[in-house]
Amino acid sequence: MTTETAVAPPTFEPAAAEDYAMLAEDVGVEYDLRFNRKTPIRESISAALTRKRAERFWALRHVSLRLDHGESLAVIGPNGAGKSTLLQVLGGIIRPSEGRVTGRGRVSGLLTLDVGFDRQLTGRDNTRLGCAFLGLEDAVTREIMPSIIEYAELGDFIDAPLKTYSSGMRARLGFAIATSVDPDILLLDEVLATGDANFREKSKARVLELVQAAKAVVLVTHDMQWVTDYCNRAILLEKGTMIMEGDPQEVVELHRERTRLAREAAQRDAVQARADAKTLLIR
């Protein structure tokens, strides 16, 4: 008979005034909607040459936050709120249109399951590739390769092409690589929701180890239980704007209430639309 041991929530110590891991100051990310996959190249060039007013979209606007060493910060919000965009800015993948981000220490992240991966290569070769993206030398990669393979629990699949992997297998490999470098700042985007229950618990335990070792963690998640149990701070984003920052329980409660109100408003709009359509048919 085996007994499962629950992962204990971490304890947090207040950081010194200047002991921050990452600082985002009035960050904004703006996109030009002329240049997207749905806009023909000819129209995009014509609009640029004629200086036609471009339709602009702010994915993030006026977002400021401070992340201290030893903190676990949750980023929550509805789909399209800008959560993943924020993580990509913090990770240096996207340059902000305004504001700035300052980081201290090695940043590692798993922002999408396929980031830096080649589906035609084996898991072992993708591990080498991932470590290279993290700036590790070949000698270091060879040294930590066995521990990455063991942690990912892929067995013989480590030498199979990535295209044969399930999403959970890719997540396990990506997580093992991202956390193998003992990062000072770890960025995770919905990774803890992927894979089987055992690996989810294993990955949560690893995140807590990093936090207890005075590392800083930022994760995007829809798992509100994880937010309230294992994060010491949370922020709520909606339409690219920070609605609230503070105690995880309070932020989660506000998110749930705003989600409920938005759902009820959408239902009322749908009922009204059906009524209007019925009226037009009768006429």
Rounded Cα distance, 95 and 85, in Å: 10
Whether the CB-CB separation of 172 and 149 falls below 8 Å is answered with no
- Most confidently modeled range among 33-37, 157-161, 185-189: 157-161
| Greater pLDDT, 109 or 231 | 231
Provide the b/e sequence for 214-229 (b: ≥16 CB within 10 Å).
ebbbbbbbebbebbbb
Element (H, E) at 173: helix 167-178
Rounded Cα distance, 56 and 33, in Å: 6
Task: Select from 101, 92, 63, 78 the least CA-distant residue to 187.
Answer: 92
Q: Does 63 reside within a domain?
A: yes
Q: Does 262 reside within a domain?
A: no
Helix (H, G, I), strand (E, B) or coil at 148: helix
pLDDT at 189 (0 to 100): 85
Q: Does 232 reside within a domain?
A: yes
pLDDT at 143 over 80: yes
Q: Does 146 reside within a domain?
A: no
Q: Does 277 reside within a domain?
A: no
Query: 191 falls in which pLDDT band (50, 70, 90)?
Result: low
Whether the CB-CB separation of 90 and 101 falls below 8 Å is answered with yes
pLDDT at 76 over 80: yes
pLDDT over 90 for what percent of the chain? 44
Rounded Cα distance, 148 and 72, in Å: 23
C-alpha 114: how far from its chain's center?
13
Mean pLDDT rounded to a whole number for the chain: 83
pLDDT at 46 (0 to 100): 56
pLDDT tens string 83-126 = 999 999 998 889 999 999 999 888 887 776 555 688 999 999 99
Task: Select from 253, 238, 133 the least CA-distant residue to 181.
Answer: 133
Helix (H, G, I), strand (E, B) or coil at 218: strand
pLDDT at 13 (0 to 100): 47
Q: Mean pLDDT throughout 15-37? A: 78
Helix (H, G, I), strand (E, B) or coil at 204: helix
| Greater pLDDT, 226 or 258 | 258
pLDDT at 244 over 60: yes
pLDDT over 70 for what percent of the chain? 82
pTM recorded for the entire structure: 0.77
Q: Does 121 reside within a domain?
A: no
Q: Does 174 reside within a domain?
A: no
Q: Does 92 reside within a domain?
A: yes
pLDDT at 96 (0 to 100): 94
Q: Mean pLDDT throughout 41-64? A: 69
Q: Could you give the number of structural domains in the chain?
A: 1
Domain that holds residue 79: 20-106+182-247
CATH code at position 32: 3.40.50.300
Which tokens in the block code for residue 239?
A: 């339409």
Q: What is the 3-state secondary structure (H, E, C) of 57-119?
A: EEEEEEEEEEEECCCEEEEECCCCCCHHHHHHHHCCCCCCCEEEEEECCCEEEECCCCCCCCC
pLDDT tens string 198-207 = 888 888 888 8
Q: Which residue has the tokens 């470098």?
A: 181
